[in-house]
Amino acid sequence: MKNSIQSRAGFFVCLMMIWGVGIPSVIAQSPYPTRPIRILVPFPAGGAADNIGRSIGEKLAAQLGQPVVIDNRSGAAGRIATEMLKNAEPDGHTLLVGGVGPLAISPSLYAKLSYDTQRDFLPVTRVAEILNVLVINPSAKVENVQQFMDWAKKRAGATRFGSSGPGQLDHLAAEFFQRLTGIQLIHVPYKGGGPALIDLLSGDLQLMFATYATARPHVLSGKLRALAVTTTKRQALLPDLPAISETVPGFGVSNWNGVFAPVKTSPQIADRLFVEINRALQEPDVKKRLNASGIDPVGSASPSEFKMFVREDMVRWAKIIKDAGIKLE
């Protein structure tokens, strides 16, 4: 009888070991990915976010042994694709190239938002910095940020800047610039950066905080003049351009992009993606392809570091938006 009880006890110990250790071990070693991976891109094909997604996707397909499909779901300034990620299965087979607009700016800009950046998404890694520059029409006849500030102050609120729309990064960058400098600018919103750039070239506008990729050909031709980058520090891609912060302390705007997964994605899958995506960013052809479009591949030290980065950027934008008194429906 005693041996029988000992045998049963041994059986239950083994069973508990299987349930307590064996199954999680099996789960941790489950293969991933098991089917094609879909990368949601919140903007149309041919744009910066699309370039980032395709550059990373091609490498991931080779590294992970599964096809990677780029799914362009543009609309609502990136919020449509972002909401789609919220509703996706948290199995690592649906990812998002998410940017500062829908994930860090929109939460403070819109009273009603169908997702919560911190509650609904798992930040995997930062992947890129899309370079923005303060660009002016040469008719202003200034050579640097300080000269531009002096020139604009003399115009008593007659200086017009264009943006790709209310609440977009280029709009808010100009609002932030005004708050720090005391300069009064007139906002002229457009449906996209392209139409605004046309009016900047014609002289109807005097400045924009444009992406370098769109402004580059006009800067090289001399039709526009780039004065500085919007990031807190100078950029290796544009070594001759100072940062605005060198003249306006405290200014800094990052047009970042990162890869996100649904919040319940397992840590094992998230860690695998972190390693593979950052490996892809180190490939020379990826760097060359992105650099050619004014994009700097930038990874994160860890998923937790990227999560903190996003949280801190949300706080920064919340203050900028509140100080500017902007609220959209």
DSSP-assigned beta bridge partners for residue 223: none
- Domain(s) of CATH 3.40.190.10: residues in the chain: 132-246
178, 97 contact by CB (below 8 A) = no
79 has pLDDT over 70: yes
* Closest to 223 in 3D by CA, of 210, 239, 233, 235: 210
Inter-residue contact 210 to 132 (CB < 8 Å): yes
Task: Spell out the residues 6+ positions from residue 199 whose beta carbon is closer than 8 angstroms to its own.
Answer: 162, 188, 190, 205
- Tell me the residue ranges of DSSP E strands in 164-202: 185-189
Mean pLDDT of 81-103: 97
Architecture of domain 37-129+255-324: 3-Layer(aba) Sandwich (3.40)
What is the pLDDT, as a whole number, of residue 328? 87
Spatial separation of the C-alpha atoms in residues 311 and 71, rounded to whole Å:
26
pLDDT of res. 156 = 80
Which residue, among 286, 310, 306, has the nearest Cα to 51 in the 3D structure?
A: 286
Residue ranges matching CATH 3.40.190.150 in the chain = 37-129+255-324
Distances in whole angstroms, Cα of residue 242 to Cα of each of 173, 181, 224, 227, 234: 16, 17, 17, 7, 6
Give the predicted TM-score (pTM) of the model: 0.88
8 A C-beta contact, residue 230 and residue 252:
yes
Determine the pLDDT at residue 157: 82
Question: For residues 7 and 238, which has the higher predicted lDDT (pLDDT)?
Answer: 238
**H-helix or E-strand spanning residue 289:** helix 284-291
Strand partners, 95: 39
Average pLDDT in the 237-251 region?
97
The pLDDT assigned to 19 comes to 39
Looking at residue 3, its pLDDT comes to: 45
| Structure confidence at residue 33 (pLDDT) | 97
Q: b or e along 254-270 (b: 16 or more beta carbons within 10 Å of the residue's beta carbon)?
A: bbbbbbbbbeebbeebb
CA-CA distances (angstroms) from residue 38 to 71, 79, 238, 259?
7, 17, 33, 12
Average pLDDT value for residue range 70-87: 95
Under CATH, what is the fold of the domain 132-246? Answer: D-Maltodextrin-Binding Protein; domain 2 (3.40.190)
Task: Report how far residue 5's alpha carbon sits from residue 55's, in angstroms, rounded to the nearest whole number.
Answer: 62
C-alpha to C-alpha distance for 231 and 132, rounded to whole angstroms = 8
DSSP-derived pairing of the beta strands 94-99 and 68-72? unpaired
Is residue 324 within 8 Å of 172, Cβ to Cβ?
A: yes
Whether 307 shows a pLDDT value over 50: the answer reads yes
Residue 3 backbone dihedrals phi, psi, to 5 degrees: -65, -35
Per-residue confidence (pLDDT) for residue 268, from 0 to 100: 95
pLDDT tens-digit map of 134-179: 999 999 999 999 999 999 999 988 999 999 999 999 999 999 999 9
Confidence (pLDDT) at 15? 35
Mean of pLDDT values over 274-283? 97
Query: Which candidate, 279, 318, 232, places its Cα nearest to that of 124?
Result: 279
Is it the case that residue 280 has pLDDT exceeding 60?
yes
Q: What number is the average pLDDT over the span 301-309?
A: 96
What angle (nearest 5°) sits at the alpha carbon of residue 75, between those of residues 102 and 194? 90
Quick one: pLDDT at residue 226? Answer: 98
Q: Is the pLDDT of residue 211 over 60?
A: yes
The tens digit of pLDDT for each residue in 19-44 reads 344 434 434 456 899 999 999 999 99
Omega before 36 within 30 of 0, i.e. cis: no
